[in-house]
Amino acid sequence: MADVHDRATRSYNMSRVKGKDTKPEMQVRKYLHAKGLRYRLHSKTLPGKPDLVLTKYHTVIFVNGCFWHGHEGCKYFVLPKTRTEWWLDKIEETTRRDNKIMDELKERGWSSLVIWECELKPKKRDISLKRLYNLITKTEELN
């Protein structure tokens, strides 16, 4: 049986190596770009360096990994059986920071949207991206 701890560490390391252009993020970028939306990336002038910044819509997007950002009720958010407390602390720290960042953005007049890694798995991707687009542009193109 695979060790969840190792797997989590590995994917964390990998995402750090890959840097900013993670696959889920690229999917979001490609889709929105094809829909004609324009954005800035990793704006350093905004709290939390949002992954995408859509100035026209006063909206920022965070593409979050389910494990590290503690996606509640998600099957990809499984706490490792070893050093559980340590992982829990780390993840709680991240989610606390995420919430604080979104509050700060809100104060500055920005809406924050989060799209989770699990929402970008092949089966869910199309519907998730459509929904994201609708949330950004406040349209109901889905139906």
Indicate the residue among 37 and 74 with the shorter CB distance to Zn ion: 74
Is residue 71 a contact residue for Zn ion (CB under 5 A)?
Answer: yes
Single residue of 74, 79, 91, 135 touching Zn ion by CB under 5 A: 74
Indicate the residue among 105 and 117 with the shorter CB distance to Zn ion: 117
Binding pattern for the stretch 99-118 against Zn ion, x by CB under 5 A and - elsewhere: -----------------x-x
Indicate the residue among 66 and 114 with the shorter CB distance to Zn ion: 66
> Angle between the 122-137 and 23-34 helix axes, to the nearest 10 degrees?
50
The SS3 call for residue 70 is coil
Which region among 11-19, 39-47, 51-59, 61-69 touches Zn ion (by CB under 5 A)?
61-69
Distances from the Cα of 114 to the Cα of 9, 34, 36, 100, 102, angstroms:
23, 20, 20, 14, 10
With CB under 5 A, what is the number of residues at the site for Zn ion? Answer: 6
Give the number of residues written for the chain: 143
Q: Smallest Cα–Cα separation from 24: which of 142, 129, 101?
A: 129
* Side chain identity at residue 85, one-letter code: E
The site for Zn ion (CB under 5 A) is made up of: 66, 71, 74, 76, 116, 118
